[in-house]
Amino acid sequence: MSEQEKKKILIIEDDQSLQSALVEIIQQEGFETESAFDGEEGLAKARSFGPDLILLDIILPKKDGFEVLLEIKKDEATKNIPVLVLTNLEEVNNIQKALDLGANSYLVKSDFSLKEVVEKVKAILK
Amino acid sequence: MFWKLLDDLNFIARCKKYKLGLWQCPNFLFLVMGFLTIVSMFGAYFASKNFDDETVTVVSVTTVAIVIITIGSFIIRGVEKIAEANVMKNEFISIVSHQLCGPLAAIKWNMEILENDESSNNLKLTAKQEAFLKNIKEANDKMLKLVNQLLEVNRIDEGRAVFKNDNIDLGEIIDQVILELKDLILEREIEIKKRISPDLPPIFADPDGIKTAVKNLISNAIKYSRQKGKVEIDLKLDGRQILLAVKDWGVGIPRYQHRKVFEKFFRSANEARYRTDGIGLGLYLARAIVENLGGKLWFESEAGKGSTFYISLSPAQKNL
């Protein structure tokens, strides 16, 4: 993959150890990444970084994932960016809420391996 | 029989066991109430006999009633405290498990990075390092499984479980489960005998849920079998019901524990107790799932001889 066509992925996840594992694997797969550690930073970077896909955690400081998702989908500039929700709250109610707000898909962090995360990212970007 | 009655009356020990104060302990309060009722009844009787005045009778009967109501309210408070503790316990489990999910996921993903790094950069770990890495991974997976089980039980207890039912072939589920358990089967050198009647109608169930239930029964049969034992899995039509029987010739469950088998956190006091891991949620979960589908789960077992667990489910209605 040449530099110009490198797809950009924004990772909004407050847990440092999860964030760095995601960055590592996604960069290994040839993507460009940007990290955000809270909801507000995530929203700002969704606008400035211009990602091709956003990985979004739900429980975040400052603004939670639902709010971030809502604002991403309200903004003309960001509303077409696909969002993959990462969650610990595996209750279907919460996941359904994220899907209703316009998330493309979701995955439960403890149930998925990084490999599966990457596969999902690639499938959405295809 | 007599000793059992005496044991029932040993309320002080019981209250202590439940960590309840005497005045919060229903066992003790009932006894006091019974005693006071008898005393006051006699009192009322003698009062009305010796004093030729109706007022005395009315007053004494009212007094008896007040005493009973007062003690009754103590009992209710005791029961309330127990109910409250139950709710708190569920919340506690829920919070703890949710909080555990994050770090466990972090360990899982970071281990994966380590492994990836090893293979992509041609780093060679020593055999020893590999083995210890594998230990960590296995321990973490085990922990994740336990936490997931706790969360699942909590969801069912609080009525938040969501089942996505569909027409499914139970025989296929059994095959999947056996495949997933193949490591355990090899390790314990168990011979699996499978008999699945052909042309069984599908059942209408949540595939993940029913798989959890079936897996619990089959993995229990394997775990509680002796080394090189045999497990028989039988799936057939029994009248209009689909009947699954999982039979083992393992350690079995002592008769006095039969009624406790489906209780939460119950683990049988058999010889395999310390050899097998688990926190006593598997069968509780399995039964809750099966009953949610309108089916039944039960067992027959004798200590030292083995157990047979049954699941009976209605076939799916046609043309749904």
Q: Would the CA dihedral through B160, B310, B178, B257 be positive or negative?
A: positive
The pLDDT tens digits of the residues spanning B89-99 come to: 878 877 887 78
* β-pairing verdict for A53-57 and B166-168: unpaired
Q: Give chain B's length.
A: 320
For the ranges A3-17, A18-32, B48-62, B191-205, the lowest mean pLDDT is seen at B48-62
CA B35 from centre of chain: 37
pLDDT for residue B208:
86
The pLDDT value recorded for residue B320 is 47
What's the pLDDT tens digit per position in A61-76?
888 889 999 999 888 8
Query: What are the C-alpha distances in Å from B36 to residues B48, B72, B76, B149?
Result: 18, 12, 17, 47
Question: How far does A17 lie from chain B, in Å, by closest CA?
Answer: 6
Q: Which residue is it, tokens 């009624």? A: B259
Instruction: Tokens for B137, please give them.
Output: 């991974």
Taking contacts as CB-CB distances below 8 angstroms, the residues of chain B near A90 are: 151
- Does pLDDT of A10 surpass 90? yes
CA dihedral B273, B276, B282, B286 (to 10 degrees): -100
Residue B69 and residue B156: Cα distance in Å, rounded? 36
Residue A92's pLDDT band (cuts 50, 70, 90): low
3-state secondary structure of B272: coil
Give me the residue from A88, A91, A114 closest to B101, CB to CB.
A88
- Tell me, what's the pLDDT at B222? 92
Cα(B250)–Cα(B221) distance, integer angstroms: 7
Q: Across the interface, do B106 and A21 touch by the CB < 8 Å criterion?
A: yes
Q: Does the interface ipTM go beyond 0.90?
A: no
Q: pLDDT confidence of A83, banded at 50, 70, 90?
A: very high
Long-range Cβ pairs for the range B311-314 (8 Å, 24+): B311/B213, B311/B214, B311/B217, B311/B243, B311/B244, B311/B286, B312/B238, B312/B241, B312/B242, B312/B243, B312/B244, B313/B170, B313/B203, B313/B205, B313/B241, B313/B242, B313/B244, B314/B203, B314/B204, B314/B240, B314/B241, B314/B242
Cβ-based neighbours of B84, under 8 Å, separated by 6 or more: none
**Domains of chain A, earliest start first:** 8-125 (3.40.50.2300)
The phi and psi torsions of A7 (rounded to 5 degrees) equal -80, 145
Domains and CATH numbers, chain B: 1-161 (no CATH), 166-313 (3.30.565.10)
Residues belonging to chain B with any Cβ–Cβ distance to chain A shorter than 8 Å: 98, 101-106, 108-110, 112-113, 116, 120, 144, 147-148, 151, 155, 160, 162
Residues 6+ positions from B6 with CB-CB distance below 8 Å: none
β pairing state of A8-12 and A32-36: parallel
Residues in chain B predicted with pLDDT less than 50, given as ranges, are 319-320
Cβ within 8 Å, pair A110-B116: no
Mean pLDDT for the stretch of residues A43-51? 90
pLDDT for the residue numbered B28? 79
B109 chain-A contacts, CB cut-off 8 A: 17-18, 21-22, 25, 109, 113-114
What letter does residue A65 receive in the DSSP assignment? H
Q: Compute the distance between CA of residue B109 and CA of residue B106 in angstroms, rounded to an integer.
A: 5
pLDDT tens by residue, A107-116: 888 888 898 9
Segment B10-69, tens digit of pLDDT: 777 777 777 777 777 777 777 888 888 888 778 778 877 887 777 877 887 788 888 888
Between A17, A20, A110, which is nearest B101 by CB?
A110
Residue A4, pLDDT > 60, answer: no
Report residue A17 as tokens.
């150890």
CA B159: distance to chain centroid?
16
Residues B171 and B135 sit within 8 Å (Cβ to Cβ): no
Question: Two tokens at B94?
Answer: 């829920």
The residue type of B110 is N
